[in-house]
Copies of this chain bind each other. A is one copy, B any other.
Amino acid sequence: MAQKPSIPKGTRDFSPLEMARRNYIFDTIKHNFRLFGYKQIETPAMENLSTLMGKYGEEGDKLLFKILNSGDFLKSCSDEDLLSRNLPKLTNKMCEKGLRYDLTVPFARFVVQHRNDISMPFKRYQIQPVWRADRPQKGRYREFYQCDADVVGSDSLLNEVELLSLIDNVFNQLGIKIIIKLNNRKILSGIAEAIGESDKIIDITVAIDKIDKIGIDNVNNELREKGLGERAIEALQPILSLNGSNSEKLEAITNILKDSETGVKGIEEIREVLETFDGLGHFAEVELDLSLARGLNYYTGTIVEVKAADVQIGSITGGGRYDNLTGVFGMSGLSGVGISFGADRIYDVMTQLELFPDSLDQTVKVMFVNFGSAEAKQSLKYIHALRNAGISAMLYPDSTKLKKQMTTASSDNIPYVAFVGESELGTDRFVLKNMDSGEQKSVSVAEAIETLK
């Protein structure tokens, strides 16, 4: 029986043109990862659930795709277990494996598992799909790629600077104007400390984050609701109204945080990163943004987020420094810093700004029209020679109507078409047509290579 074929919701097929565009992004990122000395690794799509569970919060556990055990998956389930319908417990008994949710946890697992084969500092990159059972919506998929670069085993802030240079290079080469937003977790801790509300750091950060949207008064009200005292709120006001250049902001915040050791350390760190990065010269705009709080429970130093300057979209790259990536796998005290490029959002930005080169539409450089068996065989010899010269070439496989063959050439954006007709058969020449200009001329293979190179 014929089925109407479809794919699971939240997943995607990629057409040749989409693939060419995606590869353009991946290749640019990969090229820079390599230029910067990051080494590629890959990990399996499936990890043991014991590796994944509990690493992404309770909500994250639910978003893991779990794989049913092979064979008798009910083996460990008693009738009572089954009738209890205790989903987490049954999942645990029926599934040992899950699809990776991100590249960070598998990387941490990799570092610990292969600790004897890795020399520190270890700079790794990884470009692979991840899967999340999120509710699909525009721009959010259940299968998507992450492109991560991390350095572990080094405290040096030069790693942060290098990652900023990497970001700058990638987006400059893609043609996307960006704003790099920088913050430091220690500054956030310092602020909470300075106003005497260390335990409310998350509420404070969330509130700061909303100023642009809801205004200072509403932010203050929200803080009151969260239980912050009036004195703390008052002490926070200079921070909420912080503006000006990065150095002006730094100066102001230095003054406010002067009594917080952690805060002072955070300011030193961000100053060092900014100055060194500025000293190298860069294309990106860099903005100190104290409201930046991504991965607050995870990052311990620098926090970075990249926004597209000309498109309204969430962050297109993000990362930061963490001090305990591998602790959960029994290897503590390993500091690292990393970033993750969001390929899907970068794709959307480039589409909206029409930044993809036109040449990505092309599949092959030249198509030989098929006029029949003898002509086709002669064509294959030329095609052979062209390919040896590195030129992509194909023969239309069937000797169907010329019009149909030409339609293929033009719908596939093939820039040149070649003809070996009856009159060319005895010769070592063929006709090469430029599909754009319409110009055509008789050429030898060597001349064709010259033109098509």
Contacts and interface: CB of A to CB of B under 8 A. Distances in A.
A48 B6 contact: yes
A30 to B, nearest CB: 10
A158 B379 CA distance: 11
A329 B363 contact: no
Given A82-B82, A392-B34, A395-B158, A3 B87 contact: no
A46 B5 contact: no
Interface in A247-296: 276, 279-281
A127 to B, nearest CB: 10
A119 B410 CA distance: 11
A367 interface: yes
A7 B110 CA distance: 9
A105 to B, nearest CB: 10
Contacts of A330: 2-5
A411 B119 CA distance: 8
Interface in A159-175: 159, 161-162, 165, 169
A129 B51 contact: no
A101 interface: no
A43 interface: yes
Nearest to A412: B119
Copies in the complex: 2
Interface stretch (A70-78, A179-187, A443-451): A70-78
B42 A8 contact: no
A350 interface: no
B397 A165 contact: no
Interface in A370-410: 370, 376-377, 380-381, 384, 387, 390-398, 407-408
A397 to B, nearest CB: 4
Given A159-B397, A384-B165, A6 B113 contact: yes
Contacts of A281: 384
Contacts of A370: 156, 158
Nearest to A155: B398
A380 B158 contact: yes
Contacts of A158: 370, 376, 380, 395, 397
Given A5-B51, A15-B117, 9 more contacts: A4-B330, A7-B43, A7-B47, A8-B48, A13-B43, A68-B91, A73-B87, A154-B397, A280-B380
> Sorted from nearest, which 8 A-B pairs have the closest CB atoms?
A2-B330, A37-B394, A11-B44, A16-B39, A37-B364, A156-B397, A70-B133, A82-B82
27 contacts: A2-B330, A5-B330, A6-B51, A7-B113, A13-B41, A13-B43, A13-B114, A15-B114, A19-B39, A19-B41, A19-B42, A35-B387, A35-B393, A36-B387, A37-B394, A45-B129, A65-B67, A82-B83, A119-B408, A119-B411, A151-B397, A154-B397, A158-B370, A162-B395, A280-B380, A280-B381, A281-B384
